[in-house]
């Protein structure tokens, strides 16, 4: 499993910039956890846990494997946040997302 280091550092920088980590070391640790889950989702289903915005702990089974979906841009300024990981939730059968810093 090859890790996209560019994506890793973009996630870490976004975590640090948003104040979700005290230093770059902590941001990189959170980014590594997220990128490992993301990489495993590209080849199959993965069980993981994250903290929702409302504080609730959420257990999910997600995948990015064999999805015939292309994200559609809605405008010129439409950009995806680097620290947000989107996935297909196998239990809810819908797309969901979480912030990389909230991964447990």
- Is the per-residue pLDDT at 78 higher than 70? no
Share of the chain above pLDDT 70, in %: 94
33-66 pLDDT, tens per residue?
Answer: 999 999 999 999 999 999 999 999 999 999 999 9
For residue 68, the model assigns a pLDDT of: 83
Query: Mean pLDDT for the chain?
Result: 92
Task: Give the single-character DSSP code of 101.
Answer: G
- Helices 5-17 and 24-41, axial angle in degrees (round to 10): 130
Measured distance CA(10)–CA(81) in Å, rounded: 10
- Is the per-residue pLDDT at 77 higher than 70? no
């Amino acid at each position: 499993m090859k890790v996209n280091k560019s994506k890793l550092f973009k996630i870490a920088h976004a975590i640090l910039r948003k104040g979700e980590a005290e230093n770059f070391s902590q941001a990189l640790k959170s980014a590594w956890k997220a990128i490992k889950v993301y990489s495993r989702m590209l080849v199959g289903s993965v069980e993981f846990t994250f903290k929702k915005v409302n504080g609730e702990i959420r257990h999910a089974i997600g995948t990015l494997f064999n999805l015939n979906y292309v994200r559609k841009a809605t405008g010129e300024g439409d950009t995806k946040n680097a620290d947000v990981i989107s996935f297909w939730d196998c239990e809810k059968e819908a797309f969901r997302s979480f912030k990389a810093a909230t991964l447990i």
